[in-house]
Structure 1
Amino acid sequence: MTTFKERIKADISEAMKARDELRLSTLRMVLSAIQNAEVAGDEAIVLSDDQALAVLRAEAKKRAESAQIYADAGRTDAATKERAECAVIEAYLPAAMSDDDVAKIVAEEVANAAAAGATGGKAMGAVVKAVRERVGSGADGQKIAALVKSALG
Protein backbone atom coordinates (compact mmCIF):
# COMPACT_ATOMS: atom_id res chain seq x y z
CA MET A 1 0.00 0.00 0.00
CA THR A 2 1.37 3.35 -0.93
CA THR A 3 1.45 6.23 1.45
CA PHE A 4 -0.35 9.45 0.80
CA LYS A 5 2.93 11.25 0.12
CA GLU A 6 3.93 8.63 -2.47
CA ARG A 7 0.55 9.05 -4.16
CA ILE A 8 1.12 12.82 -4.40
CA LYS A 9 4.58 12.25 -5.93
CA ALA A 10 3.15 9.82 -8.50
CA ASP A 11 0.41 12.30 -9.38
CA ILE A 12 3.02 15.03 -9.81
CA SER A 13 4.73 12.85 -12.41
CA GLU A 14 1.40 12.25 -14.16
CA ALA A 15 0.64 15.98 -14.18
CA MET A 16 4.09 16.66 -15.68
CA LYS A 17 3.47 14.14 -18.45
CA ALA A 18 0.01 15.56 -19.11
CA ARG A 19 1.40 19.13 -19.02
CA ASP A 20 -1.32 20.11 -16.56
CA GLU A 21 0.28 23.22 -15.07
CA LEU A 22 -2.44 24.00 -12.52
CA ARG A 23 -2.50 20.48 -11.10
CA LEU A 24 1.29 20.27 -11.17
CA SER A 25 1.85 23.52 -9.29
CA THR A 26 -0.90 22.70 -6.78
CA LEU A 27 0.47 19.22 -6.06
CA ARG A 28 3.99 20.59 -5.69
CA MET A 29 2.64 23.10 -3.17
CA VAL A 30 0.85 20.30 -1.31
CA LEU A 31 3.99 18.15 -1.21
CA SER A 32 5.97 21.14 0.03
CA ALA A 33 3.42 21.80 2.78
CA ILE A 34 3.63 18.16 3.87
CA GLN A 35 7.42 18.25 3.90
CA ASN A 36 7.41 21.53 5.85
CA ALA A 37 5.10 19.95 8.42
CA GLU A 38 7.47 16.99 8.69
CA VAL A 39 10.49 19.14 9.52
CA ALA A 40 8.66 21.62 11.76
CA GLY A 41 9.50 21.36 15.41
CA ASP A 42 12.53 20.01 17.20
CA GLU A 43 12.81 16.71 15.31
CA ALA A 44 11.96 15.69 11.79
CA ILE A 45 9.14 13.17 11.62
CA VAL A 46 7.30 11.24 8.94
CA LEU A 47 3.65 12.25 8.84
CA SER A 48 1.01 9.54 8.92
CA ASP A 49 -1.67 9.60 6.25
CA ASP A 50 -4.12 11.17 8.73
CA GLN A 51 -1.64 13.91 9.57
CA ALA A 52 -0.99 14.53 5.87
CA LEU A 53 -4.75 14.80 5.29
CA ALA A 54 -4.90 17.38 8.07
CA VAL A 55 -2.24 19.40 6.24
CA LEU A 56 -4.28 19.06 3.04
CA ARG A 57 -7.44 20.25 4.79
CA ALA A 58 -5.57 23.30 6.05
CA GLU A 59 -4.27 24.06 2.56
CA ALA A 60 -7.76 23.68 1.06
CA LYS A 61 -9.15 26.00 3.72
CA LYS A 62 -6.44 28.59 2.92
CA ARG A 63 -7.34 28.43 -0.77
CA ALA A 64 -11.07 28.84 -0.08
CA GLU A 65 -10.45 31.82 2.20
CA SER A 66 -8.08 33.41 -0.31
CA ALA A 67 -10.60 32.94 -3.10
CA GLN A 68 -13.25 34.69 -1.03
CA ILE A 69 -10.91 37.59 -0.23
CA TYR A 70 -9.94 37.96 -3.89
CA ALA A 71 -13.58 37.84 -4.96
CA ASP A 72 -14.51 40.51 -2.40
CA ALA A 73 -11.68 42.69 -3.71
CA GLY A 74 -12.90 42.28 -7.30
CA ARG A 75 -9.94 40.15 -8.42
CA THR A 76 -11.93 37.43 -10.16
CA ASP A 77 -8.89 36.04 -11.99
CA ALA A 78 -7.02 35.31 -8.76
CA ALA A 79 -10.21 34.04 -7.10
CA THR A 80 -10.78 31.61 -9.97
CA LYS A 81 -7.20 30.32 -9.70
CA GLU A 82 -7.55 29.81 -5.94
CA ARG A 83 -10.85 27.95 -6.41
CA ALA A 84 -9.26 25.72 -9.04
CA GLU A 85 -6.36 24.92 -6.68
CA CYS A 86 -8.86 24.19 -3.92
CA ALA A 87 -10.71 21.78 -6.23
CA VAL A 88 -7.46 19.91 -6.99
CA ILE A 89 -6.72 19.60 -3.26
CA GLU A 90 -10.27 18.56 -2.38
CA ALA A 91 -10.03 15.67 -4.83
CA TYR A 92 -7.58 14.07 -2.37
CA LEU A 93 -9.74 14.63 0.71
CA PRO A 94 -12.27 12.06 1.90
CA ALA A 95 -15.93 13.05 1.64
CA ALA A 96 -17.05 15.17 4.56
CA MET A 97 -19.97 14.06 6.71
CA SER A 98 -23.25 15.85 6.18
CA ASP A 99 -24.39 18.38 8.76
CA ASP A 100 -27.35 16.15 9.64
CA ASP A 101 -25.09 13.18 10.42
CA VAL A 102 -22.82 15.31 12.60
CA ALA A 103 -25.85 16.82 14.36
CA LYS A 104 -27.15 13.32 15.17
CA ILE A 105 -23.80 12.34 16.68
CA VAL A 106 -23.71 15.59 18.65
CA ALA A 107 -27.22 14.92 20.00
CA GLU A 108 -26.20 11.40 21.06
CA GLU A 109 -23.06 12.62 22.81
CA VAL A 110 -24.93 15.45 24.56
CA ALA A 111 -27.43 12.86 25.82
CA ASN A 112 -24.53 10.66 27.01
CA ALA A 113 -22.98 13.62 28.83
CA ALA A 114 -26.33 14.52 30.41
CA ALA A 115 -26.75 10.91 31.56
CA ALA A 116 -23.31 11.15 33.17
CA GLY A 117 -24.40 14.33 34.95
CA ALA A 118 -22.53 16.89 32.84
CA THR A 119 -24.63 19.70 31.40
CA GLY A 120 -24.21 23.18 30.05
CA GLY A 121 -20.84 24.74 29.39
CA LYS A 122 -19.02 22.31 31.67
CA ALA A 123 -19.83 19.46 29.30
CA MET A 124 -18.59 21.27 26.19
CA GLY A 125 -15.02 19.94 26.17
CA ALA A 126 -16.01 16.37 26.89
CA VAL A 127 -18.77 16.36 24.27
CA VAL A 128 -16.56 17.94 21.59
CA LYS A 129 -13.84 15.39 22.31
CA ALA A 130 -16.31 12.49 22.09
CA VAL A 131 -17.81 13.80 18.84
CA ARG A 132 -14.36 14.29 17.29
CA GLU A 133 -13.42 10.71 18.19
CA ARG A 134 -16.55 9.38 16.48
CA VAL A 135 -16.45 11.68 13.46
CA GLY A 136 -12.70 11.54 12.90
CA SER A 137 -11.67 13.68 9.97
CA GLY A 138 -15.16 13.77 8.49
CA ALA A 139 -16.11 17.20 9.83
CA ASP A 140 -14.55 20.56 10.55
CA GLY A 141 -13.68 21.24 14.19
CA GLN A 142 -15.34 24.66 14.16
CA LYS A 143 -18.56 23.12 12.84
CA ILE A 144 -18.49 20.48 15.58
CA ALA A 145 -17.89 23.08 18.30
CA ALA A 146 -20.73 25.28 17.01
CA LEU A 147 -23.17 22.35 16.91
CA VAL A 148 -22.18 21.24 20.42
CA LYS A 149 -22.50 24.78 21.77
CA SER A 150 -25.99 25.19 20.31
CA ALA A 151 -27.04 21.72 21.55
CA LEU A 152 -25.85 22.46 25.07
CA GLY A 153 -27.55 25.83 25.08
Structure 2
Amino acid sequence: MGKDLKARIGESLKQAMKDKDAVRLSTLRLINAAIKDTEIALRAETSGDAEPQPIPDEKVLAILGKMVKQRQESARVYEEGGRLELAEQERGEIEIIEEFLPAKLSAEEQAAAVEKAIAATGAESLRDMGKVMAALKAKYTGQMDFGEVGPLVRARLG
Protein backbone atom coordinates (compact mmCIF):
# COMPACT_ATOMS: atom_id res chain seq x y z
CA MET A 1 0.00 0.00 0.00
CA GLY A 2 3.00 2.29 0.32
CA LYS A 3 2.43 5.09 2.79
CA ASP A 4 0.51 4.34 5.92
CA LEU A 5 -2.94 5.81 6.36
CA LYS A 6 -1.87 8.36 8.96
CA ALA A 7 0.78 9.75 6.57
CA ARG A 8 -1.75 9.97 3.72
CA ILE A 9 -4.16 11.89 5.97
CA GLY A 10 -1.33 14.25 7.00
CA GLU A 11 -0.46 14.95 3.36
CA SER A 12 -4.12 15.60 2.53
CA LEU A 13 -4.27 18.01 5.47
CA LYS A 14 -1.30 19.98 4.12
CA GLN A 15 -2.86 20.04 0.64
CA ALA A 16 -6.17 21.30 2.06
CA MET A 17 -4.25 24.14 3.77
CA LYS A 18 -2.59 25.08 0.48
CA ASP A 19 -5.93 24.89 -1.35
CA LYS A 20 -7.63 26.94 1.41
CA ASP A 21 -10.42 24.31 1.46
CA ALA A 22 -11.98 25.11 4.86
CA VAL A 23 -14.47 22.21 5.01
CA ARG A 24 -11.88 19.62 4.00
CA LEU A 25 -9.32 21.13 6.37
CA SER A 26 -11.64 21.06 9.39
CA THR A 27 -12.69 17.45 8.66
CA LEU A 28 -9.08 16.31 8.26
CA ARG A 29 -8.17 18.09 11.50
CA LEU A 30 -10.97 16.19 13.27
CA ILE A 31 -9.58 12.91 11.87
CA ASN A 32 -6.07 13.84 13.03
CA ALA A 33 -7.33 14.74 16.51
CA ALA A 34 -9.15 11.39 16.80
CA ILE A 35 -5.97 9.55 15.75
CA LYS A 36 -3.87 11.52 18.27
CA ASP A 37 -6.39 10.75 21.04
CA THR A 38 -6.11 7.05 20.23
CA GLU A 39 -2.30 7.23 20.17
CA ILE A 40 -2.30 8.89 23.59
CA ALA A 41 -4.66 6.23 24.95
CA LEU A 42 -2.48 3.46 23.50
CA ARG A 43 0.63 5.03 25.00
CA ALA A 44 -1.07 5.17 28.41
CA GLU A 45 -1.98 1.47 28.09
CA THR A 46 1.60 0.51 27.29
CA SER A 47 2.86 2.08 30.56
CA GLY A 48 3.82 5.38 28.94
CA ASP A 49 6.69 4.20 26.75
CA ALA A 50 9.09 7.03 26.03
CA GLU A 51 8.91 6.31 22.30
CA PRO A 52 5.34 6.59 20.95
CA GLN A 53 4.40 3.62 18.80
CA PRO A 54 2.97 4.33 15.35
CA ILE A 55 -0.73 3.60 15.23
CA PRO A 56 -1.53 0.64 12.94
CA ASP A 57 -3.73 1.20 9.88
CA GLU A 58 -6.38 -1.16 11.32
CA LYS A 59 -6.87 1.23 14.26
CA VAL A 60 -7.03 4.23 11.92
CA LEU A 61 -9.64 2.41 9.80
CA ALA A 62 -11.68 1.68 12.93
CA ILE A 63 -11.52 5.38 13.91
CA LEU A 64 -12.61 6.46 10.43
CA GLY A 65 -15.44 3.92 10.39
CA LYS A 66 -16.67 5.21 13.73
CA MET A 67 -16.51 8.82 12.50
CA VAL A 68 -18.59 7.93 9.42
CA LYS A 69 -21.19 6.17 11.59
CA GLN A 70 -21.43 9.19 13.91
CA ARG A 71 -21.98 11.53 10.97
CA GLN A 72 -24.58 9.25 9.37
CA GLU A 73 -26.51 9.28 12.63
CA SER A 74 -26.18 13.07 12.94
CA ALA A 75 -27.34 13.57 9.34
CA ARG A 76 -30.38 11.37 10.00
CA VAL A 77 -31.26 13.36 13.15
CA TYR A 78 -30.80 16.67 11.32
CA GLU A 79 -33.04 15.51 8.46
CA GLU A 80 -35.75 14.42 10.88
CA GLY A 81 -35.52 17.85 12.50
CA GLY A 82 -35.76 19.62 9.15
CA ARG A 83 -32.18 20.94 9.35
CA LEU A 84 -31.21 19.95 5.81
CA GLU A 85 -28.20 22.30 5.56
CA LEU A 86 -26.65 20.61 8.62
CA ALA A 87 -27.45 17.15 7.23
CA GLU A 88 -25.67 18.12 3.99
CA GLN A 89 -22.66 19.34 5.97
CA GLU A 90 -22.45 15.94 7.72
CA ARG A 91 -22.67 14.14 4.35
CA GLY A 92 -19.86 16.31 2.99
CA GLU A 93 -17.67 15.25 5.92
CA ILE A 94 -18.60 11.59 5.32
CA GLU A 95 -17.38 11.87 1.71
CA ILE A 96 -14.03 13.27 2.86
CA ILE A 97 -13.57 10.57 5.53
CA GLU A 98 -14.55 7.78 3.12
CA GLU A 99 -11.71 8.77 0.77
CA PHE A 100 -9.39 7.05 3.24
CA LEU A 101 -11.51 3.91 3.69
CA PRO A 102 -11.19 0.89 1.40
CA ALA A 103 -14.02 0.28 -1.05
CA LYS A 104 -17.17 -1.20 0.50
CA LEU A 105 -17.89 -4.84 -0.27
CA SER A 106 -20.96 -5.72 -2.33
CA ALA A 107 -23.72 -7.87 -0.79
CA GLU A 108 -22.30 -10.93 -2.59
CA GLU A 109 -18.76 -10.18 -1.37
CA GLN A 110 -20.06 -9.72 2.19
CA ALA A 111 -21.87 -13.08 2.04
CA ALA A 112 -18.70 -14.76 0.72
CA ALA A 113 -16.62 -13.10 3.48
CA VAL A 114 -19.09 -14.38 6.11
CA GLU A 115 -18.83 -17.93 4.70
CA LYS A 116 -15.01 -17.75 4.74
CA ALA A 117 -14.96 -16.42 8.32
CA ILE A 118 -17.34 -19.17 9.49
CA ALA A 119 -15.16 -21.83 7.83
CA ALA A 120 -11.92 -20.29 9.15
CA THR A 121 -13.18 -20.11 12.74
CA GLY A 122 -14.93 -23.49 12.65
CA ALA A 123 -18.11 -21.81 13.90
CA GLU A 124 -21.07 -24.14 14.29
CA SER A 125 -23.66 -22.31 16.40
CA LEU A 126 -24.75 -18.87 17.60
CA ARG A 127 -22.32 -19.26 20.50
CA ASP A 128 -19.52 -18.89 17.95
CA MET A 129 -20.90 -15.63 16.55
CA GLY A 130 -18.37 -13.52 18.50
CA LYS A 131 -15.46 -15.44 16.96
CA VAL A 132 -16.86 -14.95 13.45
CA MET A 133 -17.48 -11.22 13.98
CA ALA A 134 -13.97 -10.77 15.41
CA ALA A 135 -12.49 -12.49 12.35
CA LEU A 136 -14.52 -10.27 10.03
CA LYS A 137 -13.55 -7.10 11.92
CA ALA A 138 -9.87 -8.08 11.81
CA LYS A 139 -9.94 -8.49 8.04
CA TYR A 140 -12.68 -6.17 6.76
CA THR A 141 -12.71 -3.07 8.98
CA GLY A 142 -13.91 -0.16 6.89
CA GLN A 143 -15.10 -2.42 4.08
CA MET A 144 -18.40 -3.56 5.57
CA ASP A 145 -21.09 -2.35 7.92
CA PHE A 146 -20.96 -4.79 10.82
CA GLY A 147 -24.49 -3.79 11.81
CA GLU A 148 -25.66 -5.27 8.50
CA VAL A 149 -23.34 -8.28 8.66
CA GLY A 150 -24.34 -9.34 12.20
CA PRO A 151 -27.84 -10.51 11.19
CA LEU A 152 -26.28 -12.31 8.19
CA VAL A 153 -23.92 -14.22 10.49
CA ARG A 154 -26.75 -14.90 12.96
CA ALA A 155 -28.99 -16.29 10.19
CA ARG A 156 -26.17 -18.48 8.87
CA LEU A 157 -25.30 -19.89 12.33
CA GLY A 158 -28.86 -20.00 13.73
Cα distance change of structure 1 residues 120 and 45 upon mapping to structure 2, 3 Å threshold: same
Q: Which residues of 2 match residues 53-92 of structure 1 at below 5 A?
A: 53-92=61-100
Does residue 14 (structure 1) correspond to residue 19 (structure 2)? The answer is no
Q: Which residues of 2 match residues 1-153 of structure 1 at below 5 A?
A: 1-40=2-41, 42=44, 43=48, 45-110=53-118, 119-133=124-138, 135=140, 137-153=142-158
Cα distance change of structure 1 residues 6 and 69 upon mapping to structure 2, 3 Å threshold: same
Cα distance change of structure 1 residues 60 and 148 upon mapping to structure 2, 3 Å threshold: same
Q: Which string of whole-angstrom CA distances, capped at 9 and with x for unpartnered residues, describes residues 92-122 of structure 1?
A: 1110111211112324554677xx6x64323
Cα distance change of structure 1 residues 4 and 109 upon mapping to structure 2, 3 Å threshold: closer
Larger relative contact order (Cα-Cα within 8 Å, sequence gap ≥ 6): 2
- Alignment size in residue pairs: 150
Q: Which string of whole-angstrom CA distances, capped at 9 and with x for unpartnered residues, describes residues 15-58 of structure 1?
A: 11111111011001111111011112524643112211111111
What is the RMSD of the two structures over their aligned residues, measured on CA atoms?
2.3
Larger radius of gyration: 1
TM-score (norm 1): 0.83
Distance 1:134 1:10 in 2: 26
Identity %: 35
User: Structure 2 unaligned runs (5+)?
Assistant: none
**2:148 is matched by which residue type in structure 1?**
K
User: Structure 1 unaligned runs (5+)?
Assistant: none
